[in-house]
Amino acid sequence: MEGGFDFAILIRNAPFLWGGMVLTLQLTGLAVAGGLALGLVLAVLRLSRIPFVPALVAGYVNFLRSMPLILAIFWFYTLIPKLTGQSVSSFYSVLIAFILFEAAYYSEIIRAGISSVRRGQIAAALALGLSNAQAMRYVVLPQAIRTMIPVLLTQSIVMLQDTSLVYVVGLRDFLTTADIVAGRDSRPVELYMFVALTFLVVCFSASRLVNRLRRRYAL
């Protein structure tokens, strides 16, 4: 490494890197929201008694969970334009890939949360005259949510890190912008270290918060 650690390069490129960070956060936020919504639907369908539906959902979930995320990104990046016949911006192709992919993971977390509530609780709710939906709404979900939330948040932190994989289709997220600067100015050490440290600080603090939350609300 020549000439020691060059902080100035980070400052010079701050606006460009910040642009990347914004894309990373947008992608994460949208994918978390979409993934949670779809994941909840999948979990409820999987626990339902509608014929064939639970098996279909299980198939979908297990299929996506046995595929690398990079491959899923490639799938959607190349296929969505072909399927729709028009050019979709790569941001949206990738966003769809993330939502469909993460929903599989979220749905498993939600399902485990719901199943962790003891069966006797449902019996007690029904014995009081609550309907199935009311039992779900007032008795099962409030208990399930306490066990689910920390795991869902942890999964979302993982997802924040996973968004860096959009590098493979050249979308300019935080890591990719850093990579561009690193290549252009031949300063890989500064740039990659900066990216790693930023993620480390952000994700470590976030997981600390999740742990505090878990302890505070543990039943």
Partner 1 sequence: MGSYRWNWPILLADPYYGWIVSGFGNTCLIAVLAWIIAFPLGSAIGIARTTELRPLRFAGTAYVEVFRNIPLLAQMFLWYFVVPELLPQDWGRWVKRDMPYPQFLTSVLCLGLYTASRVAEQVRSGLEAIPRGQHHAGLAMGLTPAQVYRYVRLPVAFRIIIPSLTSDFLGVFKNSSLALTIGVLELTSQARQIEEYTFAAFEAFATATLLYCAVTGIVILAMRQVERRTRIPGTIAIGTQ
Partner 2 sequence: MIELKNVSKWYGAFRVLDDCSLRIAKGEVVVICGPSGSGKSTLIKCMNGLEPFTRGEVTIDGISVGARDTQLPKLRARIGMVFQNFELFPHMSAAANITLAQLKVLGRDRATAQAKTDALLARMGLADHAAKFPAQLSGGQQQRVAIARALAMDPIAMLFDEPTSALDPEMITEVLDVMVGLAEEGMTMAVVTHEMGFARKVADRVVFMDEGAIIEDAATAAFFGTPRSERAQHFLSKILQH
Contacting residues toward partner 1, per CB under 8 A:
1, 63, 65-71, 74-75, 78-79, 82-83, 157, 161-162, 164-165, 167-168, 175, 179, 182, 188-189, 192-193, 195-196, 199-200, 203-204, 207
The minimum distance between CB 106 and partner 2, in angstroms, equals 22
Yes or no: say if 114 and 144 are a contact pair by the CB < 8 Å rule: yes
CA distance 112 to 43: 9
| Residue number with CB closer to partner 1 (55 or 79) | 79
Q: Which does 124 bind (CB under 5 to 8 A by kind): partner 1, partner 2, none?
A: partner 2
| Residue number with CB closer to partner 2 (137 or 184) | 137
CA distance 176 to 172: 5
Q: Which does 170 bind (CB under 5 to 8 A by kind): partner 2, partner 1, none?
A: none
Q: Which does 131 bind (CB under 5 to 8 A by kind): partner 1, partner 2, none?
A: partner 2
Distances in Å between the Cα of 6 and the Cα atoms of 49, 174, 183 are: 61, 19, 15
| Residue number with CB closer to partner 2 (62 or 121) | 121
| Residue number with CB closer to partner 1 (125 or 155) | 155
Q: Which does 51 bind (CB under 5 to 8 A by kind): partner 1, partner 2, none?
A: none
Q: Which does 129 bind (CB under 5 to 8 A by kind): partner 2, partner 1, none?
A: partner 2
Using the CB atoms, write b or e for 169-193: b if 16+ within 10 Å.
Answer: bebbbbbbbbbbbbeeeebeebbee
| Residue number with CB closer to partner 1 (43 or 125) | 43
| Residue 90: both structure tokens together | 């790569």
In the complex, which residues of this chain contact partner 2 (CB under 8 A)?
A: 118, 120-121, 123-131, 134, 138-139, 142-143, 146, 219
Residue with tokens 């969505």: 80
CA distance 167 to 176: 5
The minimum distance between CB 136 and partner 2, in angstroms, equals 12
Distances in Å between the Cα of 17 and the Cα atoms of 194, 195, 199 are: 10, 10, 13
Backbone angles phi, psi at 46, to 5 degrees: -70, -30
The minimum distance between CB 198 and partner 1, in angstroms, equals 9
CA distance 153 to 72: 22
| Residue 166: both structure tokens together | 């959009």
The minimum distance between CB 37 and partner 2, in angstroms, equals 24
